[in-house]
Amino acid sequence: MFSAATYQNRRAVLQSNVRNGILLFLGNIENPVNFEHNPYYFRQDSTYLYYFGIQEPRIAAIMDIDENKTLVFGDELSMDEIVWMGRQETLKEKSLKSGVSETLPYASLSQYIIKALASGRKVHYLPPYQSFNKILLADLLGIKITELQPSEAMIKAVVNQRSIKEPQEIVQIEQAVNVSNEMHLLAMRLAKPGMKEYEIANAIQYFAANKECQMSYPPIVTINGGILHNHYRLNTLQEGDLFLNDSGAETSMGYAGDLTRTFPAGKRFTTKQKEMYEVVLNAFNNAQSLLKPGIRFKDIHLKAARHLVEGLIDLGLMKGNPEDAVKNHAHTLFFQCGLGHMMGLDVHDMEDLGEQYIGYTEEDPKDTQTFGLKSLRLGKELESGFVLTVEPGIYIIPDLIDMWQAENKNSDFINYDKVNEYRNFGGIRVEDDFLITDNGYRLLGNGLIKTAEEIENYRAEHLA
């Protein structure tokens, strides 16, 4: 946990921004795997972590703005539970570390809410994402789950606050990134033809676990990098394959890292692979250089798209005017997703609160229709204190090629004959994590090798 003052200050800021009513915070539970008492590992809700820092299932909290008091709700262990689970720090003690002196039993939460509602007060809450909390919220408020109406005022206030990372949060994120760096180097030392994808995924997870880290998301560790959300890990690496590793660690305080590297399953990139890698890396470097407060991330995204198009024209896969190609979204045959996203206590930071609030503004809302842009999680102007990923890529998706070609889509910009020579190419992504500073940006963590040459040299050094 951070200091009690940290949580008190954060809550004071939130209180001053929402101004009235009751702010209700629900912690997460231990979710059952195949029966109630066989749970997945516990992960506290990120907003609860941010304002209270208490890592404990089945707790809640109320900030009563009208009455200027804060309470943590939860049950202390019974004697029966102490026999089973041992003596532990009490919830009272944990709450004090969060700067909250008043704790009440979990069951009192309902009374508190009923009383507040009865006196016509506003109860603010965030959108629940775990089903347990959907049921709980509906019960507490005496409405149906379909009638739940999360508080826009609370969402906006939380998003504004959590978007700007504190120095101590940056320290945490850099810890996560540095563990992630090591995970990636380990993968580069291990991976070779004949291995299964899952062996590498398991090894990096083991490494992180020994650093007391969870995975911040299910790793994508695959020879089919063209499949964007690929969690199948039973393939065997073969000479000539490209290996894509998108994985990151999460510190025990909940902060995420998120990195991607793509490298040859054998010792060297083929010429085709290296050419394509340079295209992606060039787009990455250009995007990185543009990071600074005041620039729209959507514009950086579109510039990265343009750099990808220019590279693909050089390689003969695309043609025509690059600017027009991007305007017509022709790049989305190769770059179907977004250039990056906010990162912090969640790998897609605050995604549970709604992408529109995190990544866009009311004046410049998200494009939820256009293929490509609808997958761009962050579009708005950057601010000093934002932490985000930059992750351009080129993904060859045979089904998508066939679909477009059948419609002759964007044929002014795409050389389908040439593209079809790359059908089994796979995918390349390069991803790092950045802090936006007053003057520009700072790469988070100690840095991880990235050029084709660095990667080939590292692998030549370490592969038997």
Query: Residues 92, 106, 132, 164: which binds a copy of itself (CB under 8 A)?
Result: 132
3 state SS for the chain: CCCHHHHHHHHHHHHHHHCCCEEEEECCCCCECCCCCCECCCCCCHHHHHHCCCCCCCCEEEEECCCCEEEEECCCCCHHHHHHHCCCCCHHHHHHHCCCCEEECCCHHHHHHHHHHHCCCCEECCCCCCHHHHHHHHHHHCCCHHHCCCCHHHHHHHHHHHHCCCHHHHHHHHHHHHHHHHHHHHHHHHCCCCCEHHHHHHHHHHHHHHCCCEECCCCEEECCCCCCCCCCCCCECCCCCEEEEEECEECCCCCECCEEEEEECCCCCCHHHHHHHHHHHHHHHHHHHHCCCCCEHHHHHHHHHHHHHHHHHHCCCECCCHHHHHHCCHHHHCCCCCCCCECCCCCCCCHHHCHHHHHCCCCCCCCCCCCCHHHCCCCCECCCCCEEEECCEEECCHHHHHHHHHCCCCCCCECHHHHHHCCCCCEEECEEEEEECCCCEEECCCCCCCCHHHHHHHHHHHCC
Query: Residues 87, 107, 119, 407: which binds a copy of itself (CB under 8 A)?
Result: 87
**Near a copy of itself by CB under 8 A, which window of 11-19, 209-217, 235-243, 321-329?**
209-217
Q: Where are the alpha helices (DSSP H) in 191-248?
A: 197-210
Asked if 86 touches a copy of itself (CB under 8 A), the answer is: yes
Q: Which one, 118 or 406, has the nearer CB to a copy of itself? A: 406
Asked if 348 touches a copy of itself (CB under 8 A), the answer is: yes
Asked if 400 touches a copy of itself (CB under 8 A), the answer is: yes
Distances (CA, A) of 152 to 104, 137, 155, 214: 27, 16, 5, 31
> Residue 78 contacts by C-beta under 8 Å, 6 or more apart in sequence?
none
Smallest separation (angstroms) from a copy of itself to the CB of 46: 5
Q: Which one, 145 or 460, has the nearer CB to a copy of itself? A: 145
Asked if 397 touches a copy of itself (CB under 8 A), the answer is: yes
Query: Residues 209, 236, 361, 453: which binds a copy of itself (CB under 8 A)?
Result: 209
Asked if 105 touches a copy of itself (CB under 8 A), the answer is: no
Asked if 416 touches a copy of itself (CB under 8 A), the answer is: no
Q: Which one, 116 or 140, has the nearer CB to a copy of itself? A: 140
Asked if 367 touches a copy of itself (CB under 8 A), the answer is: no
| Separation CA 321–CA 323 (nearest Å) | 6
Smallest separation (angstroms) from a copy of itself to the CB of 95: 20
Smallest separation (angstroms) from a copy of itself to the CB of 268: 26
**Residues in region 251-310 near a copy of itself by CB under 8 A:** 254
Asked if 227 touches a copy of itself (CB under 8 A), the answer is: yes
Asked if 82 touches a copy of itself (CB under 8 A), the answer is: yes
Asked if 148 touches a copy of itself (CB under 8 A), the answer is: no
Asked if 41 touches a copy of itself (CB under 8 A), the answer is: yes
**Near a copy of itself by CB under 8 A, which window of 19-27, 93-101, 399-407, 410-418?**
399-407
Residue 102 structure tokens: 């008043």
Asked if 85 touches a copy of itself (CB under 8 A), the answer is: yes
Query: Residues 15, 17, 39, 282: which binds a copy of itself (CB under 8 A)?
Result: 39
Q: Which one, 33 or 114, has the nearer CB to a copy of itself? A: 33
User: Cβ–Cβ contacts within 10 Å for residue 6, how many?
Assistant: 18
For Cα atoms 352, 110, 158, give the angle at the middle one, nearest 5 degrees.
30
Query: Residues 9, 110, 130, 420: which binds a copy of itself (CB under 8 A)?
Result: 130
Asked if 391 touches a copy of itself (CB under 8 A), the answer is: no
**Near a copy of itself by CB under 8 A, which window of 154-162, 165-173, 287-295, 339-347?**
339-347
Smallest separation (angstroms) from a copy of itself to the CB of 45: 7
Asked if 203 touches a copy of itself (CB under 8 A), the answer is: yes
Query: Residues 178, 224, 247, 410: which binds a copy of itself (CB under 8 A)?
Result: 224
Q: How many residues bind a copy of itself (CB under 8 A)?
A: 60
Asked if 217 touches a copy of itself (CB under 8 A), the answer is: yes
Query: Residues 43, 58, 156, 192: which binds a copy of itself (CB under 8 A)?
Result: 43
- Which residues bind to a copy of itself, rule: CB under 8 A? 28, 31-41, 43, 45-46, 79, 82-88, 129-132, 134-135, 145, 198-199, 202-203, 205-206, 209-210, 212, 217-218, 224, 226-230, 232, 254, 336, 345-348, 351-352, 397, 399-400, 403
